[in-house]
């Protein structure tokens, strides 16, 4: 059997790098796409046969060119690249709002369409996993376009699952909760925040990047062969605990 190829966007750090490492351990050839040239090359160098693609996922032309250099179509696409800017919307510029939407939502569309078209033309199936966030289900204050984009990613995966299911392309989402790393590393550098947030989670700990990597690789695998259009929340039970955090009268 030919070795499968996994393409992970935003793979130069945090959750993306953990997914890449897990895919590598599970026998995939791993390609990483990121705007951070130094970071993406360093992570790719840790893989058995890693490929680094320095590319902005919002740039349609650059994405097509980068995919062409791979020489074959990825069997697995993980739409993981993302940005967050904490700002209240009354003070926010349209430019910033658009930029966040562009990276967090349109970028996933650009990538999925490019890989999806190739799989369709080759008449073979594949798997895609979007990395959303519990913030796309239960928005938290100050997350503006990030929350809107992450909610949109869940819907995008549902719709792609519907449209591309007949082609044998399964599309699912993973929604991480409080993750100790990546874009939240600075937040959890504060011990008090770690304690408060860990205690808010029914499992009484923050999530690990590896918790997300395991969920992604499950959805990518044949073990999830009948799972399509699903949003797998990986948050230690946090979003279902909201009512229990409000004291009874
Ligand atoms: N860390 C968390 O607490 C958390 C929680 C929920 C969801 N997430 C989601 O997980 C995903 C990974 O985040 P992370 O925490 O590892 O953060 P991170 O900042 O470490 O990783 C994001 C990566 O995306 C890359 N990137 C940004 N814009 C890009 C672009 N236009 N083109 C290509 N690459 C680009 C960055 O260079 C970076 O390597 C994100 O989608 C994020 O929203 C993270």
CA–CA separation, 235 vs 247, rounded Å? 22
pLDDT of 83: 98
Compute the distance from residue 106 Cα to the ligand 1 centre, in Å: 14
Q: Which of 28, 146, 188, 226 is catalytic?
A: 146
Tell me whether residue 48 is exposed, middle or buried, using C-beta atoms within 10 angstroms of its C-beta: 0 to 12, 13 to 18, 19 or more.
exposed
Kindly list the strands in the beta sheet with 126-131, ordered across the sheet, starting from the edge strand earlier in the chain. Answer: 51-54, 29-34, 5-9, 76-79, 126-131, 169-176, 231-234
Minimal CA–CA distance to 198: which of 174, 179, 176?
Answer: 179
146 is catalytic: yes
Question: Does ligand 1 lie within 6 Å of residue 133's CB atom?
Answer: yes
Task: Tell me if the pTM is above 0.95.
Answer: yes
pLDDT of 246: 86
Q: Which domains does the chain have, with CATH numbers?
A: 5-232 (3.40.50.720)
pLDDT of 1: 72
Compute the distance from residue 123 Cα to the ligand 1 centre, in Å: 31
C-beta separation of 180 from 189 below 8 A: no
pLDDT of 148: 98
Please write the tens of the pLDDT for every residue from 28-62.
999 999 999 999 999 999 999 999 999 999 999 99
Residue 248: pLDDT over 90: no
Please write the tens of the pLDDT for every residue from 114-130.
999 999 999 999 999 99
Place 67 in a pLDDT band, splitting at 50, 70 and 90.
very high
Please write the tens of the pLDDT for every residue from 138-182.
999 999 999 999 999 999 999 999 999 999 999 999 999 999 999
């Amino acid at each position: 059997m030919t070795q499968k190829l996994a393409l992970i966007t935003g793979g130069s750090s945090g959750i993306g790098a953990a997914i890449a490492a897990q895919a590598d351990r599970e026998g995939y050839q791993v390609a990483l796409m990121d705007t951070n040239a130094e970071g993406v090359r360093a992570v790719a160098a840790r893989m058995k046969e890693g490929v680094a693609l320095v590319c902005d996922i919002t740039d349609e032309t650059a994405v097509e060119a980068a995919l062409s250099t791979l020489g074959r179509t990825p069997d697995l696409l993980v739409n993981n690249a993302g940005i967050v800017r904490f700002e209240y919307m009354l003070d926010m510029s349209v430019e910033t709002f658009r930029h966040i939407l562009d990276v967090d939502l349109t970028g996933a569309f650009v990538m999925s369409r490019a890989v999806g078209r190739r799989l369709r033309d080759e008449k073979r199936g594949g798997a895609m996993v979007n990395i959303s966030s519990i913030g796309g289900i239960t928005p938290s204050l100050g997350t503006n376009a990030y929350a809107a984009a992450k909610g949109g990613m869940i819907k995008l995966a549902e719709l792609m699952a519907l449209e591309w299911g007949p082609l044998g392309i399964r599309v699912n989402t993973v929604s991480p909760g409080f993750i100790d790393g990546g874009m939240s590393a600075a937040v959890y550098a504060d011990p008090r925040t770690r304690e408060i947030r860990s205690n808010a989670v029914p499992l009484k700990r923050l999530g690990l990047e590896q918790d997300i990597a395991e969920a992604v690789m499950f959805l990518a695998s044949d073990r999830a062969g009948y799972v399509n259009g699903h949003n797998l929340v990986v948050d230690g039970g946090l979003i279902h605990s909201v009512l229990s955090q409000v004291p009874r009268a």
